[in-house]
Structure 1
Amino acid sequence: MTVRRERATLAGVVFAVLFAQVLLYPGVPQLVAALGLPDALGAGTPFLAAEFVGVVLAVTLWGAISDATGRRVPFIVVGAVGGSLAYLLLAWLVSVEPPFLAVLAVRFAQGALTGGAFSIAVTMLLDLPGGRGRNTGAAGIAIGLGTALGAPIGGRLYAVDVRAPLFATAALFLLAAAVALRIPDRAPDDRLLGARAALAGLRRRPSLGVPYAFGLVDRSTAGFFALVGTVYFQTRFGLDAAATGLLLGAFFAPFALLQYPFGVLSDRIGRTAPVAVGSLAFGLAVLGVGLAPSVAVAAGTMLVVGATGALCAPATLALVGDIADETDRGTAVAGFNLVGSVGFLVGIVAGGTLADRFGFLVAFLVVGGAEMLLAIGLLPALLNLETDSRAAFGSGED
């Protein structure tokens, strides 16, 4: 299999995982109601948070075990198949009105399984030759397309049955496992790294803290929209799950289409401008969504959110690959995904809490403001990284 085909196949696995997960988001209020808890924010917060607690606790361990064994594919397969079974179990729980703790336990298992599969698939992309910008751009467009299509299609599936997205998700994870079996392993065979090594690597390379910080805040914004954005659109504009999915898709469509070209751009001009300018504009656009007076304005602003997010996302991940070397890149990427998952969790919990106690506008102000403050505050660190190691920011590899 050629490098180009490997890149496309791995991107297909990443697409399937993200598409399957995002199918649930547009109808989370309806799903938690079907599970016996009609409070969209009160129940939706732990429902989404439980999955990412599982991701946070498991993702570094998955990356470390993958590095230690020198294998990637078996762990993707196990995570995808296990995730499929977990979603089928959740569909069954809808029909039996279970204790909510049982639902949260299943969601935790889903996160631990699927988060590991996702992280390792992205690591495999960074293992490939051909330019980190291209490889991370391929991951980014797969993530963006998966989420762009998942949101509107998930909304339509909810109109059929509240369990329909769960069955579709289970099938897609099985498909991802089958596709992953065709990919050869390229993991270096000399990595013996554990969870502690991820922290040790950060101490050895403190500059990793810069992309980690951006990943944390960027993903907190995504977590915020997964819950608070969904409830906000349905409450503020009276939308159903299908219309909510389309509005979420207004963000993910440009986010998907622009990831690859912006990833290549960051190979050519460096990481600083895409990360700093993209993050600043991203935060400003998030504020605009919270101030939108109508659905049409909100949809247009969501398009801007997607475009600005696409500018900074692949460059941030590529920066991790720039700083890490071949022997610890798997753990560095796992660490990046770990802090990103923590960010998603923070966005869900903090965003839900802020919206519940102080209203949607305050929540949007805090989340968008945090993104802008980070871009301004870490600009000197970005410039210093580029000055100290100019070659790391524009390899121009093909």
Structure 2
Amino acid sequence: MTTRRDRIVLASVVFVVLLAQVLLYPGLDTLVAAFGGGAALEGGMWFLAVEFAAFVAFAGVWGAASDATGRRVPFVVAGTIGGGVGYALLALLPTVTTMPFWAVLVVRLFQGAATIGAFSLAMTMLMDLEGGHGRNMGAAGIAIGAGTALGAPLGGQLYEVGTLVPVAAASVLMFGVAVLATVAIDEREGPVDDTESTIWRALAGVRDTPILLVPYAFGFIDRLTAGFFALVGTLYFREVFELSPGATGLMLALFFAPFALLQYPFGVASDRIGRTVPVVAGSVCYGVAIVAVGLAPTVQLAGAAMVAVGVVGAMMSPATMALVTDLARDTERGVAMAGFNIFGSTGFLAGILVGGTVADRFGYEAAFLTAGGVEILLAAVTVPVFLRFRMRRETAVASSR
């Protein structure tokens, strides 16, 4: 019962972190305007980029602090409380004082640095629970999918109530899950993974197994497109189709919902048909679908293209992660997956910065062509690698008979 309870509570932490994060996306331009961020595209780019920069920079800090004490629960609680404080400051400060946008970004940096501690260590604790790795990671996957799928439409509706309401709701959610984590998670004995060492070990793993760069590259590009949609996609729907925040949230949900719901069946399918078709062919289709969103002449066609992006993304994602497991040595799978996540987080940040910069200088159409084109180009370049890998595996199987 204790393991089951911990699994539910830790999954709740993961769920709330993602839900709070995505709540802010649908009305990003109005939020940046309320903060005095100037142009929506540039202000939104920095507002999102600062949070993900904090994710990349501070994940290792939380891991090192957890190592130093040999405990995790207090840091999960501290991360959720810190995230709640950060969101609360973002919601309250504009109503009581006039502050420059750079000060808002400092608060955002603090909020992101706190939030990643809760998320990262909750995921680590889920990995360490008894009851089966598949079951524990399944709980994490459901939490991530549900948080992102519900965050966009719910955030859109909250923006209809008031510009700062989604930020205030994010704060309440973080404080609520902090209380839950405080009273419901049992501290467990055992060593804590050294996150900073894991980063260096992951890079060393690439040196020892260079073919891991293939799924890492796909993870980077796939998350780049996710970051792209968080910023450029949101503002594109708001400006080009003149959608309200509520309608924009529903448009984002057309991607997030199938992406969350279809990953498990597509993951099972990749076990049966292999990784090449879902990853390579999926990437080509994914790139085409992204371009189709940017070229769609009507909101209805753009919505249909968003559904296609979500479906194809769900086909690619589990196959790409499974490819990491296929390629890594049995004793280094955890480190290999850590490397995949490092590349993915960096990709999300790059998607915000690159997408925002291209859209600002050359327009939305060029930005969508860039995001989709990079995905298609990567698939074309890696086809020979996949074919050699497939032939090598078939040869190994034949020689073992």
Return the alpha-carbon distance in structure 1 between the equivalents of residues 291 and 132 of structure 2: 34
Work out the CA distance in 1 between the residues paired with 2:341 and 2:74: 19
SS of the residue corresponding to residue 258 of structure 2 reads helix
Q: CA deviation at 1:10?
A: 3.9
Deviates more, 1:315-324 or 1:86-95: 315-324
Q: Closer, same or farther in 2 for the Cα pair 1:382/1:113, shift >3 Å?
A: farther
Partner of 1:232: 236
- Given the superposition, is the C-alpha separation of residues 82 and 319 from structure 1 closer, same or farther in structure 2, using an over 3 Å criterion? farther
Structure 2 length as normaliser, TM-score?
A: 0.86
Q: CA deviation at 1:380?
A: 3.7
Which is further off, 343-352 or 255-264?
A: 255-264
Counterparts of residues 124-135 of structure 1 (less than 5 Å): 124-127=125-128
Q: Match of 1:196, as an amino acid?
A: W
Report if aligned partners of 1:221, 1:347 keep a CA contact under 8 Å in 2: yes
1:171 aligned residue = 172
324-333 or 212-221, which moves further after superposition? Answer: 324-333
**1:377 and 2:381 are equivalent in the alignment:** yes
CA distance in 1, matches of 2:111, 2:287: 30
Matched residue, 1:394: none
Distance in 2 of aligned mates of 1:219 and 1:383? 24
- State yes or no: 1:342 paired with 2:349: no
Aligned-residue Cα RMSD (Å) equals 3.0
Give the structure 2 partner of residue 159 of structure 1: 160
Which residue, out of 284, 291, 295, partners 1:287?
291
Cross-structure match for 2:144:
143
Q: 2:106 aligned with 1:102, yes or no? A: no
* Cross-structure match for 1:396: none
Query: How has the CA–CA distance of structure 1 residues 253 and 2 changed in structure 2, closer, same or farther, with 3 Å as cutoff?
Result: same
**Deviation string, structure 1 residues 108-157 (Cα, Å, up to 9, x no partner):** 12222222332333344444677766655543443222112111111111
Q: Which residue of 2 aligns with 1:42?
A: 42
Unpaired segments ≥5 residues, structure 2:
395-401
Q: Structure 2: how far apart are the matches of 1:42 and 1:124? A: 37
Among 311, 315, 318, the alignment partner of 1:307 is 311
Equivalences, count = 390
Q: Which amino acid aligns with 1:53?
A: A
Cα gap change, 1:290 to 1:252, in 2 (>3 Å) = same
Q: 1:80 — aligned with what?
A: 80
Distance 1:71 1:329 in 2: 24
- Tell me how far apart the structure 1 counterparts of residues 3 and 390 of structure 2 sit (CA, whole Å): 29
Contact 2:25 2:231 in 1 (8 A): yes
Shift of 1:55: 1.0
Q: Secondary structure at the match of 2:224?
A: helix
Q: How far does residue 305 in structure 1 lie from its aligned partner after superposition?
A: 0.6
Structural mapping, 1:112-131, within 5 Å: 112-127=113-128
Q: Which amino acid aligns with 1:143?
A: I
Query: Kindly tell me: are residues 332 and 98 of structure 1, through their superposed partners in 2, closer, same or farther at Cα, counting changes over 3 Å?
Result: farther
Structure 2 counterpart SS, 1:26: coil
- Measure the CA separation in 1 of the matches of 2:334 and 2:64: 8
Matched residue type, 2:372: G
> Of the candidates 183, 189, 192, which is equivalent to residue 191 of structure 2?
189
Which residue is equivalent to 2:363?
359
Query: Following the alignment from structure 1 to structure 2, what is the Cα–Cα distance between the partners of residues 135 and 382?
Result: 30
Distance in 1 (CA, whole Å) between partners of 2:93 and 2:329 is: 45
Please say if residues 266 and 314 of structure 2, whose CA atoms lie closer than 8 Å, have aligned partners that are also in contact: yes
How much does 1:321 deviate?
A: 4.6
Q: Give the counterpart letter for 1:232 in structure 2.
A: Y
| Contact 1:77–1:177 under 8 Å retained in 2 | yes
The C-alpha deviation readout for 1:339-382, integer Å capped at 9, x for no partner, is 22211111111111111111111100010111112122223434
2:24 alignment counterpart: 24
Match of 1:317 among 321, 324, 327: 321
Q: d(CA) in 2 for partners of 1:79 and 1:330?
A: 23
Residue 214 (structure 1) aligned with residue 212 (structure 2): no
**1:204 deviation in Å?**
3.2
* Equivalent in the alignment of 2:398: none
Please state how far the C-alpha of 1:191 moved relative to its aligned partner.
4.8
Matched, 1:265 2:266: no
Counterpart of 2:30, as a letter, is: Q
Q: Percent identity?
A: 57
Q: 1:71–1:306: structure 2 CA closer, same or farther, 3 Å change rule? A: farther
The one-letter code sitting in structure 1 at the alignment partner of 2:34 is: A
